[in-house]
Structure 1
Amino acid sequence: MREAMHDVGAEVTVLRRSAPAHPTKSSPGGANADVLVRKAVTGMPFLEIRVAVIGNVDSGKSTLVGVLTRGMLDDGRGLARSKVFKHGHESATGRTSSIGQHNLCLGAHGEVLNDGLFRTHSCAEYIARSSKVVTLVDLAGHERYFKTTAYGLTGHLPDYACLIVGANAGIVGMCKEHLGVALALKVPVFFVVTKVDICPGHVLQHSLATLSSILRKPGVKKKPFMVRTREDVLTCARHIHTDSLAPVFLTSSVTGDGLELVRLFFNLLPQRQRWADKVNDAVEFIIDETFQVAGVGVVVAGTVKRGTLVQGASLLLGPHAGDASFKLTAIKSIAYKRLPVTRVVAGQTAALALKRVKRSSLRKGMVLVDPSLHPKASWEFDADIAILTHSTTIAPKYQAVIHCEIVRQAARVVAMDRERLRSGDRACVRFRFLQRPEYLTPGTRFVFREGRTKGIGMVMGI
Structure 2
Amino acid sequence: MDFLGLFDPLEDSDDIASNSSSTLDSSSPELSSPESSSPESCGSELDQMPDQLPPEPQLGNIEYKLKLVSPSKHRFQHLVTQMKWRLREGQGEAIYEIGVEDNGLMPGLEPAEMTASLTTLHRMAAELGAAVTVLRERRLAAGSADERRVSEVLVRKVPDDRHSIDLRLAVLGNADVGKSTLLGVLTHGQLDNGRGRSRLNMLRHLHEIRTGRTSSISHEILGFDSEGNTVDYSATPTAEEICEQSSKLVTFIDLAGHQKYLKTTVFGLTGYSPHHAMLVVSANSGIAGTTQEHLDLALALKVPLFVIVTKIDLTSAATLRHTLQALEALVRAPGCGKEPLRVVDEASAAAAAQADAATVPVFSVSSVSGAGLPLLKKYLHALSPSPGASERRRLEQQLCEFQIDETYRISETGVVVGGLLTKGIITEGARLSLGPLEDGSFTTVRVASIHRNRRPCRVVRAGQAAALAIDRDVAGLRRGMVLLAPQSRPTACLYFQATVCALFGSQAIHRRFQATVHMGSVRQTAVIEGVCAPGGLLRPDQEASVLFRFYRQPEYVSVGDRLLFRQGRTRGYGIGTVTQVFPCRPELEER
TM range (shorter): over 0.9
Partner of 2:458: 342
23, 27, 52: which is aligned to 2:170? 52
Q: Note if 1:8 corresponds to 2:125.
A: no
Q: Secondary structure at the match of 2:447?
A: strand
Q: What's the counterpart of residue 577 of structure 2?
A: 458
Q: Is the 8 A contact 1:181 1:453 kept in 2?
A: no
The counterpart of 2:416, out of the listed 276, 282, 299, is 299
Q: Which of the numbers 251, 254, 257 marks the counterpart of 2:368?
A: 254
- In the alignment, is the contact (CA less than 8 A) between 1:390 and 1:422 conserved in 2? no
Partner of 2:442: 326
How far residue 458 of structure 1 moved from its aligned partner, in angstroms, is: 1.2
Separation in 2, partners of 1:380, 1:117:
53
C-alpha displacement of 1:319: 0.7
Kindly tell me: are residues 315 and 182 of structure 1, through their superposed partners in 2, closer, same or farther at Cα, counting changes over 3 Å?
Answer: same
More displaced 10-residue stretch of structure 1: 106-115 or 377-386: 106-115
- For the pair 1:105 / 2:219, whether they are aligned, the reply is no
Aligned twin of 2:44: none
- The secondary structure found in structure 2 opposite 1:58 is coil
- In structure 1, what is the equivalent of residue 263 of structure 2? 147
Q: How does 1:79-158 map to 2 (within 5 A)?
A: 79-118=197-236, 122-158=238-274
- Rounded to whole Å, the distance in 2 between the matches of 1:69 and 1:175 is 24
- Counterpart position of 1:361: 476
Query: Deviation string for 1:56-91 (max 9, x for gaps)?
Result: 001111111111111111111221111121222211
Q: Equivalents in 1 of 2:209, 2:508: separation in Å?
A: 42
- Checking the alignment, whether the CA contact within 8 Å between 1:445 and 1:456 is kept in structure 2 is yes
TM-score normalised to structure 2 length: 0.74
Show the counterpart of 2:514.
399
Structure 2: distance between partners of 1:337 and 1:267: 18
Rounded Cα–Cα distance in structure 2 between residues aligned with 1:392 and 1:100 = 32
Q: State the 1:2 CA deviation.
A: 1.5
Confirm or deny: 8 A CA contact 2:165 2:249 kept in the other structure: yes
- Correspondence for 2:552 among 415, 418, 435: 435
Aligned partner letter, 2:580 = G
Does residue 533 of structure 2 align to residue 414 of structure 1?
no
Counterpart secondary structure, 2:333: coil
For residue 281 of structure 1, report the CA deviation from its aligned partner.
2.7
Task: Please give the secondary structure, in 1, of the residue aligned with 2:230.
Answer: coil
| Partner SS, residue 553 of structure 2 | coil
Residue 123 and residue 207 in structure 1: after superposition, are their counterparts in 2 closer, same or farther (change >3 A)?
Answer: same
Q: What is the deviation of 1:40?
A: 4.7
Cα distance in 2 between the residues matched to 1:129 and 1:41: 15
Bigger fraction of residues in strand: 1
Partner AA of 1:129 in structure 2: Q
Give the conservation status (yes or no) of the 8 Å contact 1:41–1:108. no
CA drift at 1:181: 0.7
Larger Rg: 2
Among 310, 313, 330, the alignment partner of 1:214 is 330
Quick one: which amino acid aligns to residue 432 of structure 1? R
83-92 vs 38-47, which moves further: 38-47
Deviation at 1:392, TM superposition (A): 4.1
SS, match of residue 263 in structure 2: helix
The question of whether the paired residues in 2 share the 8 Å contact of 1:416 and 1:429 is answered with: yes
Equivalent-residue separation in structure 1 for 2:417 and 2:385 (angstroms): 25
Counterpart Cα distance in 1 of 2:128 and 2:382: 20
* Partner Cα separation in structure 1 for residue 260 and residue 410 of structure 2: 30
- 1:394 Cα offset (Å): 1.6
- Compute the displacement of 1:115 (Å): 3.5
Gaps of 5+ in 2: 1-120, 582-591
Query: Once the two structures are superposed, what CA deviation does each residue of 1:190-240 show, in whole Å capped at 9, x if it has no partner?
Result: 10000000112222222222222222221111222111011111211111x
Q: Using the TM superposition, give the Cα deviation of residue 409 of structure 1 relative to its aligned residue in structure 2, in angstroms.
A: 0.7
Counterpart residue identity of residue 285, structure 1: F
Q: CA deviation at 1:35?
A: 0.7
Question: What is the CA distance between 1:373 and its match in structure 2?
Answer: 1.5
Counterpart code for 1:110: G
Residues 18/206 of structure 1: CA separation in 2 closer, same or farther (3 Å cut): closer
C-alpha distance in 1, partners of 2:141/2:501? 48
**Which amino acid in structure 1 is aligned with residue 416 of structure 2?**
V
**Counterpart in 1 of 2:296?**
180
Distance 1:40 1:157, change over 3 A: closer
Distance 1:382 1:104 in 2: 41
Q: Deviation of residue 186 (structure 1)?
A: 0.6
CA distance in 2, matches of 1:156, 1:391: 25
* One of 292, 316, 320 as aligned partner of 1:204: 320
* Counterpart for residue 286 of structure 2: 170
1:265 aligns with 2:391: no
**Residue equivalent to 1:285:** 402
What does 1:27-46 align with in structure 2 at a 5 Å threshold? 31-40=149-158, 44-46=162-164
Residues 230-273 of structure 1, C-alpha deviations (whole Å, 9 max, x = no match): 1111211111x332x11110000111100111111111111122
The whole-number CA distance in structure 2 between the counterparts of 1:422 and 1:235 is 41
Rounded to whole Å, the distance in 1 between the matches of 2:226 and 2:572 is: 41
- TM superposition shift of 1:290: 0.8
What SS class does the counterpart of residue 314 from structure 2 fall into? coil
Q: Quick check: 2:506–2:574 contact (8 Å CA) kept in 1?
A: no
CA pair 43-399 structure 1, distance change in 2 beyond 3 A: closer
Q: Given residue 421 of structure 1, which amino acid in structure 2 is its aligned partner? A: L
CA contact (8 A) 2:188 2:232 kept: yes
Counterpart of 1:78 (choices 196, 200, 203) is: 196
Amino acid at match of 1:325: S
Tell me the TM-score normalized by structure 1: 0.94
How many angstroms does 1:44 deviate by? Answer: 4.0
Using the TM superposition, give the Cα deviation of residue 94 of structure 1 relative to its aligned residue in structure 2, in angstroms: 0.9
Give a deviation string over 1:334-373, Cα, whole Å, max 9, x none: 1112112222221111111111124x52111001111122
* Distance apart, 1:410 and its partner CA: 0.9
- Is 2:496 the partner of 1:381? yes
Does residue 447 (structure 1) correspond to residue 564 (structure 2)? The answer is yes
Report percent identity of matched pairs.
41
What is the rounded CA distance, in whole Å, between the counterparts of 1:78 and 1:242 in structure 2?
33
